[in-house]
Structure 1
Amino acid sequence: MASGDDDDPIIEEVDVYLAKSLADKLYLFQYPVRPSTMTYDDVNHLAARIKPKQQRVELEMAINTMSPNYCRSKGEQIALNVDGTAYDETNTYTAKMMDKQTFSSIQATTNTSRYAAAVFRKGELHVTPLTGILQMRPSFSYLDKADNKTREREAANEGGDSSQDEAEEEVKAITVRFARPESEQARQRRIQSYEFLQKKQAEEPWAHLHYHGVRDSRSEHERQYLFCQSVDASENSELVKTPKEYLAMLMPPLAEEKVVKPVGPSNVLSMAQLRTLPLGDQVKTLMKNVKVMPFANLMGLLASGTDSTAVLRCIQQVALLVQGNWVVKSDVLYPKNTCSPHSGVPAEVLCRGRDFVMWRFTLERSVMRKEITAIIKLPPEDVKEFLEHVAAPRVNRGWEFLLPTDADFIKKHPDVAHRQHMLWLGIQSKLEKVFNCSKEDFMPKNSPQPEPVQISGEQRLKMAQERAQDHRSSLQKDLDAKRAGTGVRIKQEPVGEDEPMDTSSSSSSSSIPNGSVNGYPAGSTAAGFDHTNGNGANASSLELQDFVQKTFRKHFVLTLNEFKRLLNLHLASMPVGRSAFHSISDHMLQEAILLSPCRQILVPFPAQSKAASDEQKVFGLWETGEDFDKQRRLLYDLFTKNYRVRRNMVQTRLAQDFGDVSKADIDRLLSECCSSHAGMWYLKGTIQS
């Protein structure tokens, strides 16, 4: 035993046989969420199915509902959420409780050439190669079914009258498009997409199997195939390999995989990989993926110590300034010789349409998708993609710009803001020609026309003095009218020269007025200030009262913010010079609403509510002369105690005060005054985003 040759003596020699009977159908199942001492051998297997090409297996196993560890109430609740109260043959749980669970497989490894199952018997080792190694984990697909049931119930409670961000037209024009030849690059993107992979997986049908337990006679019969069926000596061959060659056969060296590094920016680059690129490519990659970003956030993503001046030079090559934030250019997202993945529209047309959307956001906080689509005339799916890049849908407000206006950047870099302003003016002139629009079509509808930049300081001072004199005269006339008993209470309040009209629907708190491009006036046409006298103020109050009554007769409940939006739309739709009122303050609007048969509803919003003050001022129609007014007032009273209620709460209160109330009356009351979300009812416009 002293010599090196005797350090590892041979204890026993074993013959090894390769069994091939189950070589193409032997799988190893692993249960990683279950300890090895707790097997599923004695659990009743209800069903089994397999997709051989994808190596996907699903097993249904019974749950012991009589176990002391089983919560019967929870099991019944889960079954109720999944299947509802109605009985159907397609129900997941026929016993009205969760009495089974499904296990779904994932591949532990895709290369099983080095794995085998071996059995040892009578001094012989029989080895069978494995087809696959699958990890069986619980499937929670029943939760998806429960969510679908919940959404169906909510839709039924809403009675089909759910509030949408933008009402879709019932009748839609059919657009016929001919598919363009698919490029190789587009085909590769489509093949690698998640939707394509899901569709491909769904194409392979399930093969249903019959499960046999460990102690079943059929299982014992199948286990015999793990032994080599033919042991003819003529087929056996003596191993003539050297020990090193034999070891190399057993454990072949791992071949180094050649990792193809991306030739350009991609969505999967890590920050470490990103910072190895030139600064221009780093900025382009970030903007292409994020779409819209403040300059401060961009500097935070780059390496510390990066020169901000160099970043400013780079960002202007791949992005445009919108409300003080940087938005990636259209030609970066839609390069030449490409087309829309949705509709096949060429990139040049997409760029023009997206530039128009971005331009509108330089003028106002919110836009309406239908208005955009009517002008650029692109398919709805493309327009929606443009808006999703830079905006988010808001209830009754269309699409609002994602980020607040970055006034700090504009003040810190006025030269960049001015350069971007001039660039936007050039883009506007091109868009006017392409879409055959006038300058007025590009002005925001919820703000007055800005005055020209070239007005001198002396002219401004003179105009301000004239307005102040007119204001004093108007106040004196209003006072005389009150003394004479005319009852005129609402007066017209002139707006300052640089002060925006206070009927904007924007909730932004930025100091930059709406209707400006990156802090600069949006156009060069002077606003026609109309200084009305006392009679004009009286006319404006009468017209405003008439608009208030008609609006609340139609909508019943409105927030101050939503009422201002409707008023802006009304003003924008009127011909120039036809409106009796030119500038309106918030105080004047609220006074006009309260003078009409309306009341303010003091909704107790939660303390952490992020709604703007205009969104928390809620007004409701109080008196119409109908008996139904009493039920409407009772509903308002409920909302003074809580900002959201359940339908059964409304039904109970109505029954207490008015006796039996029909379902039609309750549906009418809720549809007129409320909106539904997640099983709760809110006054219109008060759903928190």
Structure 2
Amino acid sequence: MASGDDDDPIIEEIDVYLAKSLADKLYLFQYPVRPATMTYDDVNHLTARIKPKQQRVELEMAMNTMSPNYCRSKGEQIALNVDGTTFDETSTYSVKMMDKQTFSSIQATTNTSRYAAAVFRKGELHITPLTGILQLRPSFSYLDKADNKTREREAANEGGDSSQDEAEEEAKAITVRFARPESEQARQRRIQSYEFLQKKQAEEPWIHLHYHSIKDSRSEHEKQYLFCQSVDTSENSQLVKTPKEYLAMLMPPLAEEKVVKPVGPSNVLSMAQLRTLPLGEQVKTLMKNVKVMPFANLMGLLASGTDSTAVLRCIQQVALLVQGNWVVKSDVLYPKNTCSPHSGVPAEVLCRGRDFVMWRFTLERSVMRKEITSIIKLPPEDVKEFLEHVATPRINRGWEFLLPTDLDFIKKHSDVAHRQHMLWLGIQSKLEKVFNFSKEDFMPKNSPQPEPVHISGEQRLKMAQERAQENKLSLQKDLDAKRPGSTIHIKQEPTSDKEDEPMDTSCHPSSSYIPNGTVNGYPSVTSSSFDHTNGNSSSQELQDFVIKTFRKHFVLTLNELKRLMNLHLASMPVGQSIFHSISDHMLQDAILLCHCKQIMVPFPAQSTAAPDEQKVFGLWETGEDFDKRRLLYDVFTKNYRVRRQVIQTRLAQELGDVSKADVDRLLKECCSSHGGMWYLKGTIQS
């Protein structure tokens, strides 16, 4: 014995035994929300169940409703919210009061190899390995049941006769698609997703258990298995390891881990390592680190001789064009299934907010952080991060875009700039629906705005008829003046300002005309450039298109009619259309001249529909003795959505007994159904 051991003598030796009887059945329960002095030993345990593979346990314990600390009214209210007024064997609380609570477990650790339960008796220490360590906390699943009950009641109140309306809907074609073969990477993402884990957990069935209290005879019997059943030393194997080997078993040396060099740079870019990657990965890595960059700088960072066309293809996959500079896309910075490091906001919400910030910089050089925050409703630290990516703060000017506008790139690559502009229009449309705003809300205050012109439908019809008569007289005069051997010089008179005013009193300035010159091979011009010799034939062709369209669709919004008009123009051979440009004014005049009328649908104040979507026109006269559509249109002047029963009642009051087939045909021609309610075509609000 070494001399140093004299100062630390051995005072007692204890034999250690390994008990294996409960090695695969022993769990340690912890109650982290309960003080150690307040145990659940004396509480009545109603039920117990377990999922062994997942190591999930649920215990149902009774609550002392007679305790002075128990709020009886609150307990009755909770039971009413969960079970409603009807009670049966499926009810959660059978006594119409919250008289029990459920405890659900989570694993405190997945590796229990270093943990054991030990008991000491008569100088012997018996240890049993633990199968799991579980923490039990109160479960609030009854709140989910209460929410479901509330939603069911609301659906029942709103749906009403939805089952009847759903039966009236037409059968829709189903498109069958075959799934692609799943890649290994996609498979790994799928099996790690929250939805997949929830599904796997639900697949394992619960095993119901019988609970025995700590003082029960069965519990006393099971405790004996915590002791090693055989303590005969002759049967136990002796330790034959040397002290050095035994120490190595207790504290094994750490295995050297192979350090894998990162494939791509993270915080510090290694240009030599970067250029070993494919071109697309090089561009993505650079944009992800730099955030915003001119195209010329990007080409300078890549290897000399790199094809600029290939770089343009790659950059458009990971970045968007803002003021002639490339800004990395939001979904590259915030991939799916990630969240904000500052606030924990999901990546999908972050991408929408950052896209709004980038879109604002496509309109102006500077933005105000307070204004951005008030619209996208994200935490200030996330908004600040968005702005720091692409802008710099300026005194009294908010946040200014980081780089000057790259006009050279826009001029040199006009096709790319145009494609990016169209992409931003699509993003803008989505953002307007999400954040409920209009582009005009952000137009500079000093930009000229057209004065609104308030003209009634009767005045508009009268003016259209007068113009048509003038065009007819002018054309007749020109034809009479054409005599053999004579030459006529017609001088184009300037059109009055009144002629060129947009009739749409609430539409966006940018939507006053339908430009179709690029479709038909003509330069885009306004309606004021029509001469008298062409005006009559173009007006007749426009009216023919309008009446043909309304006899097919019966009800159309102004926005939908303009869309159909553009499709019609695009389908015509190049150079054969007599239209140069069609204003909203001309289109609405043509509608009113074709036996159609505007239906004054009372949209709600919070409606997200654009002004052109709120202008609804219907075919008024079709040659029938009495057109039922007029009564239908009148119903929709009281409310923008109605039930089928209201329509049937109104038709019955005016026309007597109306067959179900007639009502079905009328609704099919003019309306569409959604959520148990009927809307005029094109007026369904999302």
TM-score when scaled to structure 1?
A: 0.53
**Counterpart secondary structure, 1:320:** helix
1:311 aligns with 2:309: no
Distance 1:420 1:626, change over 3 A: closer
Distance 1:187 1:582, change over 3 A: same
Distance 1:247 1:185, change over 3 A: same
1:415 aligns with 2:417: no
The one-letter amino acid paired with 2:81 is Q
Distance 1:160 1:109, change over 3 A: farther
* Range with bigger deviation, 231-240 or 121-130: 231-240
1:275-332 superposed Cα distances (whole Å, 9 cap, x missing partner): 997389699569879xxxxxxxx96x52489786333666636233898477999xx9
Distance in 2, Cα, partners of 1:502 & 1:524: 25
The one-letter amino acid paired with 2:585 is H
Distance 1:565 1:106, change over 3 A: farther
Cross-structure match for 2:76: 72
Equivalences for 1:222-261 in 2 at 5 Å?
222-235=222-235, 252=251, 255=254, 258=257, 261=260
Per-residue deviation, 1:114: 0.5
Cross-structure match for 1:546: 547
The one-letter amino acid paired with 2:254 is A
Equivalences for 1:178-577 in 2 at 5 Å?
201=201, 203-235=203-235, 252=251, 255=254, 258=257, 261=260, 264=263, 272=267, 278=274, 284=280, 301-303=288-290, 309-311=296-298, 316=312, 318-320=314-316, 324=321, 406=362, 412-415=406-409, 418-419=412-413, 421=415, 478=468, 480=470, 533-540=534-541, 542-543=543-544, 545-546=546-547, 549-550=550-551, 553-554=554-555, 558=557, 560-572=558-570
Distance in 2, Cα, partners of 1:161 & 1:170: 15
1:21-41 superposed Cα distances (whole Å, 9 cap, x missing partner): 111111122334444445444
Aligned alpha-carbon RMSD (Å)? 6.5
Per-residue deviation, 1:681: 9.1
**Counterpart secondary structure, 1:114:** coil
The one-letter amino acid paired with 2:56 is R
Distance in 2, Cα, partners of 1:29 & 1:634: 66
Q: Is the 8 A contact 1:275 1:282 kept in 2?
A: no
Q: Is the 8 A contact 1:61 1:100 kept in 2?
A: yes
Distance in 2, Cα, partners of 1:672 & 1:41: 69
Distance 1:569 1:683, change over 3 A: same
Distance in 1, Cα, partners of 2:99 & 2:278: 54
1:559-580 superposed Cα distances (whole Å, 9 cap, x missing partner): x434433443455567778877
**Counterpart secondary structure, 1:614:** helix
The structure with the largest alpha-carbon Rg is 2
Distance in 2, Cα, partners of 1:196 & 1:97: 36
Distance in 2, Cα, partners of 1:103 & 1:282: 53
1:110 aligns with 2:110: yes
Per-residue deviation, 1:207: 3.0
Distance in 1, Cα, partners of 2:95 & 2:619: 52
Equivalences for 1:89-100 in 2 at 5 Å?
none
The one-letter amino acid paired with 1:77 is N
The one-letter amino acid paired with 2:213 is G
Distance 1:209 1:122, change over 3 A: same
Distance in 2, Cα, partners of 1:571 & 1:147: 52
**Counterpart secondary structure, 2:112:** coil
1:190-234 superposed Cα distances (whole Å, 9 cap, x missing partner): 666666656655554443323333333322322221222222232
Q: Is the 8 A contact 2:598 2:617 kept in 1?
A: yes
Q: Is the 8 A contact 2:79 2:98 kept in 1?
A: yes
Q: Is the 8 A contact 1:594 1:600 kept in 2?
A: no
Distance in 1, Cα, partners of 2:417 & 2:546: 43
Distance 1:25 1:405, change over 3 A: same
Per-residue deviation, 1:132: 1.3
Distance in 2, Cα, partners of 1:107 & 1:273: 39
Distance in 2, Cα, partners of 1:187 & 1:219: 46
Per-residue deviation, 1:581: 5.4
Distance in 2, Cα, partners of 1:579 & 1:669: 35
Cross-structure match for 1:587: 585
Cross-structure match for 2:428: none
Cross-structure match for 1:50: 50
Q: Is the 8 A contact 1:117 1:128 kept in 2?
A: yes
The one-letter amino acid paired with 1:132 is G
**Counterpart secondary structure, 2:316:** strand
For structure 1, which runs of at least 5 residues remain unmatched after alignment? Answer: 290-297, 333-387, 393-401, 426-473, 487-492, 495-500, 516-520, 640-644
1:412-471 superposed Cα distances (whole Å, 9 cap, x missing partner): 25436744838999xxxxxxxxxxxxxxxxxxxxxxxxxxxxxxxxxxxxxxxxxxxxxx
Q: Is the 8 A contact 1:324 1:405 kept in 2?
A: no
Cross-structure match for 2:638: 637
Q: Is the 8 A contact 1:212 1:219 kept in 2?
A: yes
Distance in 1, Cα, partners of 2:281 & 2:34: 44
The one-letter amino acid paired with 1:76 is L
The one-letter amino acid paired with 2:209 is L
1:389-427 superposed Cα distances (whole Å, 9 cap, x missing partner): xx99xxxxxxxxx979958899625436744838999xx
Distance in 1, Cα, partners of 2:259 & 2:503: 58
Distance 1:320 1:404, change over 3 A: farther
Q: Is the 8 A contact 1:324 1:410 kept in 2?
A: no
Distance in 1, Cα, partners of 2:562 & 2:35: 64
For structure 2, which runs of at least 5 residues remain unmatched after alignment? Answer: 303-310, 333-347, 353-357, 365-402, 420-463, 477-493, 496-501
1:102-145 superposed Cα distances (whole Å, 9 cap, x missing partner): 54433322211110112234443321110112233455666777
Per-residue deviation, 1:146: 7.1
Distance 1:573 1:279, change over 3 A: same
Distance in 1, Cα, partners of 2:680 & 2:71: 47
1:221-252 superposed Cα distances (whole Å, 9 cap, x missing partner): 222212222222324567788888767655x3
Q: Is the 8 A contact 1:20 1:228 kept in 2?
A: yes
**Counterpart secondary structure, 2:77:** helix
1:651-670 superposed Cα distances (whole Å, 9 cap, x missing partner): 9x99xx99xx99x9999989
**Counterpart secondary structure, 1:601:** coil
Q: Is the 8 A contact 1:113 1:130 kept in 2?
A: yes
Distance in 2, Cα, partners of 1:105 & 1:572: 64
Distance 1:100 1:244, change over 3 A: farther
Q: Is the 8 A contact 1:274 1:282 kept in 2?
A: no
**Counterpart secondary structure, 1:535:** helix
Cross-structure match for 2:616: 619
Distance 1:507 1:210, change over 3 A: farther
The one-letter amino acid paired with 1:258 is E
Cross-structure match for 1:338: none
Distance in 2, Cα, partners of 1:23 & 1:128: 6
Per-residue deviation, 1:76: 2.0
Cross-structure match for 2:172: 170
Distance 1:9 1:202, change over 3 A: same
Distance 1:210 1:626, change over 3 A: farther
**Counterpart secondary structure, 2:234:** helix
Q: Is the 8 A contact 1:407 1:510 kept in 2?
A: no
The one-letter amino acid paired with 2:297 is A
Distance in 1, Cα, partners of 2:11 & 2:540: 113
Cross-structure match for 1:396: none
Distance 1:190 1:422, change over 3 A: closer
Query: Number of matched residues?
Result: 510
